[in-house]
Chains A and B, each alone.
Chain A
Amino acid sequence: MVEFYDYEGLGNIIDPESDTKQVFIPSPPTMTTVKTNPRSTILYITGGRIVEGYEKLEELKAYAEENKVVFVCPSSKDPEEVAETFNYIQSKYKVLNVKRDEIAVMGDADTMDDAQAVVDYLVDECDADIDDAEEFSL
């Protein structure tokens, strides 16, 4: 199953179901369920194209499930606003079950300049350790 949901009004996330396991907490003795095998993230810069009803949404979901990757799709392509999404991932990476240091910034052919501007901003202003933007294709 792949979930599609809004995050804090900043955009949408395509989130394949995480692996889980039961773990025992020794002190105090407790059984709890944790998510395992954190996924890498694609920060997908499209300018808000990825919404409910997007024509390729099912293909994206299938890609996410098959490649065990989470798409985080901000509504904005303004670097400063995308930075809020980046900070959201950094603070919620445990809940999202993603690797906070494995984020690839990607765009479509017509948003590659925006995606690279996002990379530059995140590297300069947000302590990000990320590579140059790449074009995403299904």
Chain B
Amino acid sequence: MWEKFEGDRNKNGIIVEDGRMIDITDPKWGHPDGRDFWDLDPKLNEGTAMLYSPSVPQEEKLAAGNARQASYMEQWWSTEHTCDVEKFEVPGCEEEPDTPVEVWVVKPKNLKKRKNRVLFYVVGGGLTGLNPNAYPIERMCEEHKCVGIVPIYRLSWQAQYPAAINDLHAAYKWMYNNADELGIHNDKVVISGSSTGGHLGLAAAFRLKRYGYSPRGIVVVSAQTDDREKDGDSLYTGMWDAVEQHDGLYNWLGRNFASNRVGPEALPNHATVEDCIGFPPTFMYQSEMDPDILQNVEFYTKLLKAHSFVEYHVYGGAHHSNGIWAVIKNCGEPNEYSTRASISFESNIEDCFKYDLRRPWVVEDYKAAFKKKFGE
């Protein structure tokens, strides 16, 4: 048994044979400017870990999860905000019409009178917690002069896949259909999010594509792209490591975990190249030690092969929640290192708003090529 797993509740029952894990908890692995809080005591994470642990009964998860969500929401609504935030209950999507979804509309003070840009922001949290206080939603809306749409999707201990995707779909559809009332331009929507926010943003984009929606771009950080582990990655232990990701996604997917029978609406790298044709412009920011880093690269290559506009930024000596992301996802104290990453990230969002980077002709070219090859 790997020594670091001793006493860590989340690793109970996990077998790691000799030589199968790399301990990166020593800050020597990190970029020198991003080593603050390189590793935290796993006990600090027990409140989250129990919510996806297979050994915790469902009733216990529901009680603890609901209590924690209530405290996050209480904190959010009792905090003074720089933007106006309004809560709506919107109808469910076509695939789950009877389940309404809570959606927040975040309006900074510097908006135009109408036809504003939209940041469709998906809060992260390993599908176990949805803590809006931890993400720079208002700052981003102010900087990009856009309306924020924040879906309050269901978490893995509330409902498994595809519940969260259905919720994002419902929120997007409602936003799209109520553009004038919301003062937005429904063809200027950029999807963003961190970690699970990135995962769900990318996965939901496949759902949206199936229903004919075309976001302006997707700019995500630390997105999980696959639940299927591969030899050569998923082998380290440390902050948001391979086991945590494994359990987090296992809790969400249940029997569909690591299955090729579910597609990219579950995890983006389940996509084939064909699935990716017509995918929105995509900008991915990842860490060297993200547990599914190789699958992230693979997903990137699929988007390349599908001729989507795509950029992939991976930071060496970084893990899922270290200092490089201090500005982008509020983890740690900002410095020159994290500001550098943030400038690039934010300029990608701005580019998606300013320029139409979508490539609709690719879809038409593929159709023409298909017809030429196989006939009408």
Contacts and interface: CB of A to CB of B under 8 A. Distances in A.
B185 A123 contact: yes
B115 A127 contact: no
Interface string A84-122: 000000000000000001000000000000000000000
The binding surface of chain A is classed by DSSP as loop
Interface centre among A129, A131, A132 (most CB of B within 10 A): A129
Contacts of A127: 187-188, 356
B70 to A, nearest CB: 40
Contacts of B255: none
Contacts of A123: 114-115, 185
A99 to B, nearest CB: 10
15 contacts: A101-B354, A123-B114, A123-B115, A123-B185, A124-B115, A127-B187, A127-B188, A127-B356, A129-B117, A129-B188, A129-B353, A129-B354, A131-B112, A132-B112, A132-B113
Nearest to B351: A101
Interface of A: 101, 123-124, 127, 129, 131-132
Contacts of A129: 117, 188, 353-354
Of all A-B residue pairs in the complex, the 3 with the closest CB atoms, nearest first, are A123-B115, A101-B354, A127-B356
Contacts of B354: 101, 129
Contacts of B356: 127
Interface in B302-328: none
Interface in B98-122: 112-115, 117
A85 B115 CA distance: 21
A97 to B, nearest CB: 18
Interface string B188-201: 10000000000000
A93 B188 CA distance: 22
Interface in B112-138: 112-115, 117
Given A123-B115, A124-B115, A132-B112, 12 more contacts: A101-B354, A123-B114, A123-B185, A127-B187, A127-B188, A127-B356, A129-B117, A129-B188, A129-B353, A129-B354, A131-B112, A132-B113
